Amino acid sequence: MSLEITHVIKRTGDVVPFNPERITNAIYRAAVAVGGRDRARAEALTAQVVEVLEKTYTTEGLPTVEEIQDIVESVLIENSHARTAKAYILYRNERAMRRRRREQGESQRDPENIPYRKLWEVLNWAVDHNVHNVYRLNERVARGEFADIVRESDLAYEKDIARAAEMIKQRRDDLRIVIVAGPSSSGKTTTTAKIADHLREAGINLVALNIDNYYYDLSMQPQDEFGDYDFETPQALDLALINEQLEHLIQGEVVHPPYYNFKTGQREGHGKPMQLGENDIILIDSLHGLYHAMTQAVPAEKKFKLYIETLLQMKGPDNQYIRFTDLRLMRRMERDARERAYNPRQTLEHWHYVRSSELRHIIPYVNDTDYIVNGATPYELPIMRARLFGYFSEWVKEYKDDPNRRDAYLRAERVHKLLQAIIPVEDDSDIPAKSHVREFIGGSAYDLH
């Protein structure tokens, strides 16, 4: 006799309600990774998984998440979805490996993906300027040196930008594309604007190809049981069309990029036609600019690849280096609240998608670049303390006993402890309008849209 499955056991041991939609989302996500976008088929496969589950668990015992995943693999293979099954298995194994690393206290980054030389340069700067841990930062703020920290930090960033621009100038005769890539809220937009200013002085014009217009329609994007869409993966984009139009542009032809309406979640006709002039270079400012499949039609020697990350080298109250992702999470909360009317809670609850995609599609290419820019500044921590600490205090209490929001709780708890140790700065008037931090807290001198 079959038994209706109502609950499952998570890896943490928590018992939570069984939601078949989670299975559908996982299957559909794996299908998207290999080019499939048939959600109805994912739902049909889910029905088969549920049928197997109900036939298997005919007693009061509850299935575990791992056991359900084993059945998903079997159903995919039995239905001749070998490529989807492989993507599902690889993703599952990758997640398991990250969990083991977390449990063992290891870094989630593979050694070859760490830009050691750049990190040493940033750490050396932090020590020289007495901001290499939160207590030294607090001491300087308490002495009234906040404006000095702003000036010193922005100067270091500007030097990075100038070096990158000079390298592009030296290759101007061969280059056809400049790629500015990096994880969410690393500072790509302002970095791009500043590099464009440098190049314009040398008679070089960057012509932006807006990658956001190449998203597939919202109806074709993976969605979770909370109604949250995953736009963070490169597979959310029409990579084939991007490559086709890049090829035509480089050959001097006119192309008609699509136009994506974010209000309707659909492509609607075309934007302005594009054609490169004699001194024009294509600009790609994108999370996934380093992802090979995005620009594979363009020879490597015709591309300049710049990577920006918040490479903050500062130890927190636990004597561990502050995580780059936590700094970017706070930045995105500020920007999302101002530009998209998102409650910071929405940003926190979505961040697991952001982080998962970074680890799979962005960070592996860190060292496959021509130059790395550090986008972190010590002075933004006191500003974020003043603006966000209250939210994190609430979330630590709210998410503590919610097994479905475990990721949100762990992030909130970690950031709460960090901000608790920081002296807040309410007044941001010492931060110049041309600072890239203004991209997130507002008041930027640049057109960021």
Q: Is residue 2 part of a domain?
A: no
In the beta sheet, which residues pair with residue 258?
A: 270
Complete DSSP assignment for 313-371: --B-TTSSBPPHHHHHHHHHHHHHHHHS---HHHHHHHHHHHHHHHHHHTGGGTTSSSE
According to the model, what pLDDT value does residue 398 have?
95
Instruction: For residue 447, tell me if it sits in a domain.
Output: no
Kindly state the greatest CA–CA separation across the chain.
Answer: 77
**Which amino acid is located at 111 in the chain?**
P
Which amino acid type is present at position 170?
Answer: Q
Give the pLDDT confidence score for residue 108 in this predicted structure: 47
Is 316 part of a structural domain of the chain? yes
pLDDT of 222: 64
What's the confidence (pLDDT) of residue 334?
97
pLDDT in the model for residue 403? 86
What is the per-residue burial (b if ≥16 Cβ within 10 Å, else e) of 99-123? Answer: eeeeeeeeeeeeeebebeebbebbb
- Tell whether 448 is covered by a domain: no
Q: Which of 79, 103, 127 is the last residue of a domain?
A: 103
Mean confidence (pLDDT) of the chain = 88
- 449 is a domain residue: no
Domain check: are 69 and 195 in the same one? no
421 located within any domain:
yes
Short-list 246, 189, 212, 180, CA closest to 434: 189
pTM beyond 0.85, yes or no? no
Same domain? For 281 and 426 the reply is: yes
Same domain flag for 78 and 120 = no
Where among 103, 122, 142 does a domain terminate? 103
Same-domain check for residues 260 and 175: yes
Among candidate residues 244, 349, 235, the one with its CA nearest the CA of residue 287: 235
CATH number of the domain to which 190 belongs: 3.40.50.300
Listed in sequence order, the residues at least 6 apart from 244 whose beta carbon sits closer than 8 Å to its beta carbon are 297
The domain in which residue 19 lies consists of 7-103
Distance (Å, whole) CA 236 – CA 220: 8
In the listed set 103, 122, 149, which residue is the last one of a domain according to the structure? 103
Residues 337, 417, single domain; the answer is yes
- pLDDT score recorded for residue 2: 57
Residue 70 within a domain: yes
Low-confidence ranges of the chain (pLDDT < 70): 1-3, 58-60, 94-95, 97-112, 221-232, 449
Residue 12: what pLDDT?
A: 76
